[in-house]
Structures are given as C-alpha cells and as structure tokens.
C-alpha cells in the first residue's frame, strides 16, 4: 500500500493531467460528441440531377 501512495505522490502531475484529459473525453462521449453540428451545416440534397454517379459520404 505504501508503494501505491509513493507512486501517486511521485507522479501526481502526470496523473492529474491524464485524469483531466480522460474527463474531457468522457464529457464529449456522453454529450453526443457535438463538436461538429452536422445537422445545421449539412447542405446535401439527394437529387438525381447529376450527370454521373457520385458517391458522397457524410458523417453524423
């Protein structure tokens, strides 16, 4: 148990940084990853008026 406490004391800044970034990751994961607001900015309209077949991939 003393080795665990000593490890945490020696690496407290690195562990705090890792917990901070893991918290940011969890926040964006559970909030639906809304960094990109795709629904309001998407301008794709599925019409067949093009001359050729074009495959477009859009993320959601």
Would you tell me the crossing angle of helices 12-30 and 2-10 to the nearest 10 degrees?
Answer: 80
Instruction: Return the closest-CA partner of residue 34 out of 2, 54, 60.
Output: 60
Q: Which domain holds residue 22?
A: 2-34
In the chain, how many domains are there?
1
- pLDDT for 51 equals 57
List, for residues 8-59, the tens digit of each pLDDT value: 999 999 999 999 999 998 888 787 765 555 666 666 665 555 555 555 555 5
The reply to whether 45 falls in a domain is no
- pLDDT for 31 equals 79
The reply to whether 42 falls in a domain is no
Q: Is the pLDDT of residue 3 over 90?
A: yes
pTM over 0.75: no
């Amino acid at each position: 148990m003393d080795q665990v406490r000593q490890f945490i004391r020696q690496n407290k800044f690195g562990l705090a940084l890792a917990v901070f970034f893991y918290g940011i990751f969890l926040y964006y994961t559970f909030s639906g990853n809304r960094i990109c607001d795709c629904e309001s900015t998407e301008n794709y309209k599925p019409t067949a008026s093009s001359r050729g077949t074009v495959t477009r991939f859009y993320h959601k």
